[in-house]
Amino acid sequence: MSRSALRIAVVGATGAVGETLLALFSERQLAFDALSLVASARSAGRTIVARGETYQVEALERFDFSGIDLAFFSAGSAVSLQWARAAAKQGALVIDNTSAFRMDPRTPLVVPQVNGDLLRRRPEDGIVANPNCATIPVVRALAPLDRRYGVRKIVVSTYQAASGAGLTGMEELRSGARASLSEERVEPSSGRFKVPLAFNVVPSIDVMQGSGFTLEEQKIVQESRKILGRDDLLVSATAVRVPVFNGHSEAVYFECEAPLDRAEIVEILRGAPEIVVHDGEGAAGFPTPRFLPDPDRVHVGRIRVVPDNPHAGWLWLVTDNLRIGAALNALQIAEMAIAHDLL
């Protein structure tokens, strides 16, 4: 099949990740012959402009995947669990952006810059899983350091933006900020978040598990081990929602088998694919989500070796979670699958 003859479906086309994915189709000039935009029945009939063409959103419940070569799923785990396998059985290669299949041993969990070799053959179940938005930057930064120093322990604290909860999360932050700043001093409501996010910090993302950790934190642990191929890796995380519209930040502590050299770490990260190193005085030494210069790169700053422990270091990571953490990683999976003739 020629690359331009691809037939593509985007499930969840009306959501934040779906919108970002469609924008990336234009930016990265993905060639295709046909594009179907799919969502829930309540969104069916809406029109969306993509690449200068107007498309009508189709209802997932009535959609036929038998004519689709590549299907992106970004409509939530419940939707993926119900429909993704059926789409794959009808012949589509499914790239799933939810947690539905990430830990399935039959399903590759792929970050192209780290373990893209998994895409040299078509997956057994026809599904490729896209990792969690907080996991991707961690493994992107630590994979080259693991090869050099042998990472044995990771502790991650995340500072995750409202867009991680979709368009409704962003709107809740926006309306909550307005309410908090209004002359009436209206108390903001919470719906998408456990408590109001405006001017607040919420140390709980996703469902609480019996361990006392949240599902979001558990994802970082399990997915990091799977992507890096390190079942022995010690990983722990605290996931926090912060009042930022878009852009996840993470403080990453890591311990290694070999002693660390800061200058060498800087050079290793500068040589890693699609990573920008911020290493200077003052604000030049760290990225921030509001002023991220390139949303298609992992930004690393505050690179430190612990003075009392030369085997331990810290990194500060910032990424555009809708792009690096979701849509762009999914599209890079697709680009690699196309290059390897998996469709």
**Which residues does the annotation place in the binding site for NADP(+)?**
14-17, 42-43, 163-164, 321
Q: Residues marked as binding for phosphate?
A: 102
Amino acid at 23: A
Residue 248: active-site member: yes
Report the SS3 class of residue 181.
helix
Residue 256: active-site member: no
Q: Residues marked as binding for substrate?
A: 160, 241
Q: How many residues does the chain have?
A: 343
Tokens at 185, concatenated: 């001093």
User: Could you tell me the CA-to-CA distances from 127 to 86, 130, 303, 328, 333 in Å, in that order?
Assistant: 11, 10, 36, 17, 11
Could you tell me which residues are beta bridge partners of residue 109? 129
Give the whole-angstrom CA distance, residue 197 versus residue 159: 12
Rounded (to 5) percent helix, strand, coil in the chain? 35, 25, 40
Token look-up 């924008």 returns 23
The one catalytic residue among 133, 256, 278, 299? 133
Spatial neighbors of 282 by CB under 8 A, at least 6 apart, are none
Report the SS3 class of residue 20.
helix
The single-letter DSSP state of residue 280 is: S
Q: Residues marked as binding?
A: 14-17, 42-43, 102, 160, 163-164, 241, 321
Give the whole-angstrom CA distance, residue 1 versus residue 257: 47
Known catalytic residues are: 133, 248
